């Protein structure tokens, strides 16, 4: 099928946004809405437990884990920068460092939960605090784990030498997801360990 009259003024080069980035941004919007509801429930139920332990009594602020997780955004950003410049080796290093920092966070959360469950006898059914704490942090941790899976897949390809400069946009899409995960932690951390205590 032909275009219209040849006498049409040139409208300039045609450019549309990357579908990967728009798709990931859309997913981030949807996930933000889910987290918003769980955060709303958390905030609504602060102080409303009828019995059982209160946050101040059993929650320890996970400062080290938080620093690790938030730093992972910096390493992730640097990894993408390196890949754009073509330094696959530096990219691999920084990417795996990001993965490690994320894994430390999950490990720390697992240790915290193990302590809460086995020592404090504190579970999702203990009281409203238990319900909202485990559901919000659990939903969050599951998103981190999905992120770690994505990072691992790319790390495997990266170590096999298959991730090069032309793949930087796809890695950026994953980076968007990881930065979103970090941003959600800022909110969850504030609500659970600062406001809620």
| Positions in the binding site for another protein (CB under 8 A) | 1-5, 8, 11, 14, 16-19, 22-23, 26-27, 29-31, 33-34, 36-38, 41, 44-45, 48-50, 124-125, 127-128, 130-132, 134-135, 139
What minimum distance in Å lies between the beta carbon of 92 and another protein?
28
Are 80 and 168 in contact by the 8 Å Cβ rule? The answer is yes
Are 38 and 143 in contact by the 8 Å Cβ rule? The answer is no
Nearer to another protein, 14 or 160 (CB): 14
Nearer to another protein, 72 or 168 (CB): 168
Nearer to another protein, 25 or 63 (CB): 25
Nearer to another protein, 36 or 153 (CB): 36
What minimum distance in Å lies between the beta carbon of 5 and another protein?
6
Alpha helices in the chain (DSSP H): 19-44, 55-58, 63-85, 88-118, 128-159, 168-189
Are 136 and 39 in contact by the 8 Å Cβ rule? The answer is yes
Residue 55 half-sphere exposure toward CB, CA atoms < 13 A: 21
What minimum distance in Å lies between the beta carbon of 1 and another protein?
5
Residue 148 structure tokens: 């770690």
Nearer to another protein, 124 or 156 (CB): 124
DSSP 8-state class, residue 165: G
- Cα 92 from Cα 79, distance rounded (Å): 7
What minimum distance in Å lies between the beta carbon of 194 and another protein?
22
What minimum distance in Å lies between the beta carbon of 96 and another protein?
28
């Amino acid at each position: 099928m032909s275009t219209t009259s040849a006498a049409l003024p040139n409208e300039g080069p045609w450019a549309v946004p990357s579908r990967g980035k728009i798709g990931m941004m859309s997913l981030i919007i949807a996930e933000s809405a889910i987290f918003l509801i769980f955060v709303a429930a958390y905030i609504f139920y602060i102080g409303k437990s009828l019995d059982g332990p209160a946050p101040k009594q059993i929650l320890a602020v996970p400062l080290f884990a938080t620093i690790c997780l938030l730093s992972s955004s910096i390493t992730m950003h640097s990894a993408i920068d390196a890949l754009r410049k073509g330094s696959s080796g530096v990219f691999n290093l920084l990417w795996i460092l990001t993965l490690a920092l994320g894994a430390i966070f999950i490990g720390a959360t697992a240790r915290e939960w193990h302590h809460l469950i086995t020592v404090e006898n504190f579970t999702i059914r203990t009281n409203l605090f238990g319900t909202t704490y485990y559901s919000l942090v659990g939903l969050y941790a599951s998103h981190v784990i999905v992120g770690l899976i994505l990072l691992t897949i790319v790390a495997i390809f990266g170590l096999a030498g298959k991730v090069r400069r032309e793949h930087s946009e796809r890695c950026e899409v994953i980076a968007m997801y990881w930065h979103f995960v970090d941003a959600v932690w800022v909110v969850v951390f504030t609500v659970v360990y600062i406001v809620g205590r």
